[in-house]
Chain A
Amino acid sequence: MSERITKSMARNIYFGGSLFFFLFLIGLTFDTMGELPKRDNRENITASVALGKKVWEENDCIGCHTLMGEGAYYAPELANVFNRRGKGDEKTFKQFMKVWMSIQPMDKPGRRKMPQFNLSDEEVNGLADFLIWTSRINDNDWPPNIEG
């Protein structure tokens, strides 16, 4: 096949093809930006959710956990931890989070260890709010089951 394609044809396919599909990507991006507000429940982003995201980032939680399937694969998925550990109830989940964060690292030999991050009550509460908010993003029903 390659004998029939000349170098200038190949160059045109490169320039034309990549330009076309880059513009296509830009168009899709604009469309997605229009659709996202209907799916990401951004109206529920509170100051506490924002604080939670900051806590999430500044302790590099993504270095062990996944969040919506992205991150490291060393520790459980957390986009649905609100449903898994809090049974979908905010009060239950926040109580769980408070206890859970305070008992790390757990004294179980050989078990994967989560460090003690010494977070304040407000920070733990924010982290919980961030995870609750995240669990309500419409993510096409991922993950397949509660175990994440």
Chain B
Amino acid sequence: MKFVTKSPWILHYDGTSCNGCDIEVLACLTPLYDVERFGIINTGNPKHADILLITGSVNEQNIPVVKQLYDQMAEPKVVVAIGICATSGGIFAECYNVVGGVDKVLPVDVYVPGCAARPESIIDGVVKALDILAQKQKYARKKTGKNRINQETAKI
């Protein structure tokens, strides 16, 4: 299972972001920063993803969408809040339709500050998330028993 922490697949969802952080997340994948060379892929399917990147805060309408995406992801999973809006609401915190940071609905593991967050700091946040992912994996194995996967395949 080492490939999970070496080449995690990423799912990106735009909460109520202004696009600034979204294009910076995409910029991480393109030639100047190029994280794809490590096998990190931006996938559109939540079932394939290990890390959930959320830009922008949450509002009443997208809370069910965010929750659903998180529930569909397989364990172990990590949530990274990108940008100040995802962290606390930022400049829009006082808006009537903004509930607040992503941590109001999901357990956030890493917060990446900035408006807009720079690609360097986004990559740094994802690298930090990898440690947490490894820890979660270890914990999950302890809890369920190391050979659970083998036993299950034996049954089939």
Q: Do A and B come from one complex?
A: no
Binding site for A on B (CB under 8 A): none
